[in-house]
Amino acid sequence: MERYLGLLLALFGTFTIINIIQAQEQQGFISLDCGLPANELSPYNETSTRLQFYSDATFIQSGLVGKIQSNLGIFRKPYTTLRYFPDGIRNCYNLNVEKGRKYLIRASFIYGNYDSNDTKPVFDLYLGPNLWATIDLEATGNGIREEILHMPTSNSLKICLVKTGDTTPLISALELRPMENGSYVIDQSGSLKRRSSNYLSKSTFDIRYSSDVYDRIWLPLFMNEWTEISTDLDVANNNIYGPPQDALKHAASPTNASAPLTIEWPSSNSHDQYHLYVHFSEIQELQANETREFNMVWNGKHYYGPLAPPKLNVLTVFSESSRTCGGGKCSVQFIRTNRSTLPPLLNAFEVFTVIQLSQSETDENDVSAIKSIAASYALSRISWQGDPCVPPQLRWDGLNCTNTVASIPPRLNTLNLSSSGLTGTIAAALQNLTQLEKLDLSNNNLTGGVPEFLGNMKLLTVINLSGNNLNGSLPQALQRKGLELSVEGNPRLCFSDPCKKPTKKKVVVPIVVSVASAATVIFVVVLFLVVRIKNPSIVEGLHLLMGTTSMANVTFANKKSRRFTYSEVIKMTNNFQRVLGEGGFGMVYHGTVNSYEQVAVKVLSESSTQGSKEFKAEVDLLLRVHHANLVRLVGYCYEGDKLSLIYEFLPNGDLKQHLTGKGGGSIIKWSVRLRIALEAASGLEYLHIGCTPPMVHRDVKTANILLDENLKAKLADFGLSRSFQSEGESQVLTAIAGTLGYLDPECNSSGRLSEKSDVYSFGIVLLEMITNQPVINQTSEILHITQWVGFKISRGDIIEIMDPNLGKDYDSNSAWRALELALSCANPSSSKRPSMSQVIQELKECIVCENSRVNDNQGLESQAMSIGLDSSMDPMAR
């Protein structure tokens, strides 16, 4: 029982809380009306709460202003405007906060068809370097709200919207409310994501500021089997949580006095951790012979009690440690004791999910220094928003940072501002980047002298100042051994003291490429061009020849990926203990990097039909491409004949096992299949038109579509991928490669590969998702899945074609459209197949049809009034 304490009775009189409200009214509140033009009335008082809302224009450097359509019935001013972000991947708000203070952070998103495209966006919401939530307005309707209790680790809080697909992120309102630090239990590396706040009443009104001093939003909840209890008397709410009196004046009790009062909510992930805060007050006048006493039970196990609610005073019960739930739901029951004459009573409760925010922010001093450098040179790169170093896929352009465990703040070790249009002198703030190893300021218009402090930065091994207009003498400290210094192209810079014009015989730059090396480079370039013109087929051989020597190291020397030794691979896989699967490349093992990041390690076997060429192709591709729907390469091992690829670990395996139900995969419903298809198509579209040069995957199949913990799809296995070397080259001759059944028949016969080959394979994948039939059926006269579908489609009944595991739970129009799309993709003639961009558009239409079936009775206005409260996720009660 000592684990669970939460008895917080009145320690001060009611006048205390009134004084707090008067003294701290809206103190520390940040209320931003996103998209409100700065020249409009700001601040203004919102009509229902009297909260002061400000324009967000001074809190963010990017984005455009939009306004929702006026015919949608949304009249509350903070939600009628929005800010949307068509440019850049990550766009961030910067808010000044108090380090170590707990805050309630609320972000609201309403699409309102502001762009008249009727395309609801899906994107990620980050809190600093950590993922807070995925905002899916396509799935949840027109509006959603996210709330979190968080304790910032610095005095600057960054809230970022991250583009993950084709749609444009947006935000309607952003609010911060400081909390009492003694309230709510926040784990060291995590925060509390608010799942629900409910008061038990038949009322239809939400409760928030000023009834709630912290501006929490309380929604009414009531069930038919309950009896409502109310009072007009004041209830003392002066514990540290201060639940609003308007909530405590209502309560529910089971109509059947011997029955428990139960609240429930779904829990799809058995590992999810919850915190429950329950607020009680006895608001009924009890007779001398009456007693109300009950226990709390969590999923069948005693949680707290017995307890008796205090009369007209608040008692808050909570657990110091988080709880999990099994069986797909959480159930909390309030059960009367044997000595109690009255049934249990409940006034209000809050449910939170623990989300881990384990990634530390970049070192504060480094962040301050790089911001000062940006200000010195008036740099306004759209990518320079949010945390400079993390997450790695969103790292600022031109930076590299130390690889470290998540609990240790990253440090900047590389800064490349070459050809950035810099003017003025070399910024003094550079010396505050104390872990800097490489600095490139070349090809700018920097003036003045080379500062002494550069020579005193002992970790600096590479400095490139070439191509500027620097003058004076080089400091003696820069002549130290081990420093690679480039200063050519600064005609007014000299290399001795006193400064003299060097003679032609003197070496102008202390460290330059030798004449012999330069001649070698020129020779190789000329030879390459001659060979390319006379015999293009030799070019690939030249690449491979170079790759057998030092070219591999050059190809793989990517700043954003890590090269591991073979001994590190053995350690991360615990000597290859846990096998995840096997492919053409070799065995795939489970591993752990930095003691916390799970990875999948693909190890080349000696018997593999694929070799170093495919290995290099896959590494080269994944070092160049970054997309939400492509599996992320964590690193690689290239040590002699020991070749390994280290990927992010996707816990839900591949799509194939979820269609068949084999390997522990769960059967996924139709709407999820459509979303997975859309995500896989987005990854392919990126390869086809987003890469330079464009890429063809060549092995698209359900086994190569992996699913993360949220069933988000990511394409994998790029060992067979090929690129088109120029934009005009739409086809290349190639050896046949891929998986039987998914192979493009036109490419198979002609040997000519194009992006339409991927489209064909995707069409087969889509047919699998629709029918759950084998692609090749060796036991049937109807061998191929396209033949099976052709036979069934002649009967005109979609039910006979659809996977019976779906149980007819799908919109027939959506199913037919998806089937027609799959067959057009799998057309034997490549010229008649759609592009992946067309596929994406058609899949979106399928999703709209399916969503309309599910959401026919949901009104936009009700969504706007309770945005983010998807009914499937609400607590239930009985």
Q: Which residue has tokens 């934009």?
A: 727
Q: pLDDT category, 749, cuts 50, 70, 90?
A: low
Token pair recorded at residue 107: 């972000």
Query: What local confidence, expressed as pLDDT, does residue 862 receive?
Result: 32
Q: Residue 55 carries which side chain, given as an amino acid letter?
A: S
Query: What local confidence, expressed as pLDDT, does residue 796 receive?
Result: 74
Averaged pLDDT for residues 822-848: 92
Averaged pLDDT for residues 407-419: 93
Q: Is 212 a catalytic residue?
A: no
pLDDT one-digit tens code per residue, 140-199: 877 899 999 999 988 899 999 999 999 999 999 999 999 987 899 886 557 999 999 999
Query: What local confidence, expressed as pLDDT, does residue 612 receive?
Result: 66
Is residue 519 scored above 50 in pLDDT? no
Q: pLDDT category, 610, cuts 50, 70, 90?
A: low
> SS3 for 705?
strand
Is residue 486 scored above 50 in pLDDT? yes
Query: What local confidence, expressed as pLDDT, does residue 313 receive?
Result: 96
* Pairing verdict, β 52-55 and 30-33: parallel
Is residue 754 scored above 70 in pLDDT? yes
Query: What local confidence, expressed as pLDDT, does residue 750 receive?
Result: 63
- Sign of the alpha-carbon dihedral angle for 857, 862, 866, 868: positive
Q: pLDDT category, 503, cuts 50, 70, 90?
A: very low
Q: Residue 673 carries which side chain, given as an amino acid letter?
A: R
Averaged pLDDT for residues 802-817: 90
Q: pLDDT category, 619, cuts 50, 70, 90?
A: confident
DSSP line for 644-711: EEEEE--TT-BHHHHHH-GGGPPPPPHHHHHHHHHHHHHHHHIIIIISSS-EE-S---GGGEEE-TT-
Q: How far apart are CA 844 and CA 139, in angstroms?
A: 12
Question: Contact, 846 vs 838, CB < 8 A?
Answer: no
Query: What local confidence, expressed as pLDDT, does residue 850 receive?
Result: 86
Is residue 818 scored above 90 in pLDDT? yes
pLDDT one-digit tens code per residue, 527-537: 444 434 444 33
- Where do the domains of the chain lie? 34-185, 196-356, 558-648, 655-727+735-854
Burial label, 823 (beta-carbon count in 10 A; 0-12, 13-18, 19+): middle
- CATH topology (fold) of 655-727+735-854: Transferase(Phosphotransferase); domain 1 (1.10.510)
CATH node for 558-648:
3.30.200.20
Query: What local confidence, expressed as pLDDT, does residue 520 receive?
Result: 36
Most confident of 34-48, 283-297, 750-764, 778-792: 283-297
Query: Partners of 732 in the beta sheet?
Result: 753
Is residue 2 scored above 70 in pLDDT? no
User: Which of 56, 363, 699, 803 does the annotation list as catalytic?
Assistant: 699
Q: pLDDT category, 854, cuts 50, 70, 90?
A: low
Longest dimension (CA), the chain: 111
pLDDT one-digit tens code per residue, 656-670: 988 877 655 667 899
Q: pLDDT category, 29, cuts 50, 70, 90?
A: very high
Q: pLDDT category, 373, cuts 50, 70, 90?
A: very high
Token pair recorded at residue 626: 């970054």
Averaged pLDDT for residues 700-722: 85
Q: How far apart are CA 696 and CA 744, in angstroms?
A: 12
If one compares 611 and 462, the residue with the highest pLDDT of the two is 462
If one compares 512 and 730, the residue with the highest pLDDT of the two is 730
Query: Partners of 65 in the beta sheet?
Result: 83
**What's the chain's average pLDDT?**
82
Is residue 10 scored above 60 in pLDDT? no
Burial label, 870 (beta-carbon count in 10 A; 0-12, 13-18, 19+): middle
Query: What local confidence, expressed as pLDDT, does residue 642 receive?
Result: 86
Query: What local confidence, expressed as pLDDT, does residue 69 receive?
Result: 86
* Pairing verdict, β 633-639 and 642-648: antiparallel
> SS3 for 710?
coil
Averaged pLDDT for residues 556-563: 52
> SS3 for 647?
strand
Query: What local confidence, expressed as pLDDT, does residue 660 receive?
Result: 76
Query: What local confidence, expressed as pLDDT, does residue 117 receive?
Result: 92
Read off φ and ψ for residue 763, nearest 5 degrees. Answer: -60, -40
User: Which distant-in-sequence residues (6+ apart) come within 8 Å of 610 by Cβ?
Assistant: 584, 585, 604, 719
**Lowest mean pLDDT across 636-640, 687-691, 750-754:** 750-754
pLDDT one-digit tens code per residue, 425-454: 999 999 999 999 999 999 999 999 999 999
Is residue 121 scored above 90 in pLDDT? yes
Q: pLDDT category, 545, cuts 50, 70, 90?
A: very low
Token pair recorded at residue 176: 């911060």
Task: Specify the pTM.
Answer: 0.58
**Lowest mean pLDDT across 20-34, 302-316, 710-724, 773-787:** 20-34
Q: Would you tell me which CATH number, out of the four given (2.20.25.570, 2.60.120.260, 3.50.50.60, 2.40.420.20), belongs to the domain 34-185?
A: 2.60.120.260
pLDDT one-digit tens code per residue, 321-372: 899 998 889 999 999 999 999 999 999 999 999 998 989 999 999 999 999 9
Is residue 265 scored above 80 in pLDDT? yes
* Binding site feature residues for ATP: 602
| Ordered alpha helix ranges (H), 25-114 | none
Query: What local confidence, expressed as pLDDT, does residue 320 receive?
Result: 84
Q: Which of 198, 102, 79 is nearest to 153 (CA)?
A: 102
DSSP line for 811-830: -HHHHHHHHHHHHHHT-SSG
Tell me whether the CATH fold assigned to 558-648 matches the one assigned to 655-727+735-854.
Answer: no
Averaged pLDDT for residues 763-775: 95
Q: Which of 310, 189, 314, 292 is nearest to 241 (CA)?
A: 314
- CATH topology (fold) of 196-356: Jelly Rolls (2.60.120)
